[in-house]
Each structure stands twice: as C-alpha cells, then as structure tokens.
Amino acid sequence: MIDHCGVVDHFLAAGYAAIGDPRALEFARSAVQGNEALGCLPWVRRSAALVAALS
C-alpha cells in the first residue's frame, strides 16, 4: 500500500491557510511528520516551509 497522507495533509493545510482557518498549522505539522515517515524529502521540505510560514 502506498501512503500519501503527508501530501494530502500538506494540501489541506494550504487550503485552510488560504481561508484563514487556524487548523492550517496543525495539518502542516502533520504533513511534515507524514512525509518524514515516508522518507519523501521534497515534500518534507515543502511542508516544513509551510509550517514556517504559518508559525
């Protein structure tokens, strides 16, 4: 099974951020964790940058 939950969380975070929903940071942090677990470094960097922008 292929798991893309980190990428999904990243896009949910971006969507929440676009509408000013405070859940954006929570989903961005979850995206970092999910992408790290998958070893998907390009998405880890994208999600970490999103966390930084939202913090």
* Model confidence pLDDT, tens digit, residues 15-31: 999 999 999 999 999 99
- Percent of the chain predicted with pLDDT > 70: 95
Q: Is 34 a domain residue?
A: yes
Q: Is 6 a domain residue?
A: no
Q: Is 7 a domain residue?
A: no
Higher pLDDT: 23 or 3? It is 23
Q: Please report the DSSP string for 1-55 in residue order.
A: ----HHHHHHHHHHHHHHTT-THHHHHHHHHHHHHHHHT-HHHHHHHHHHHHHH-
> Domain of 33?
12-54
Burial class (CB in 10 A: 0-12, 13-18, 19+), 9: buried
Number of domains in the chain: 1
For residues 28-38, give the mean pLDDT.
94
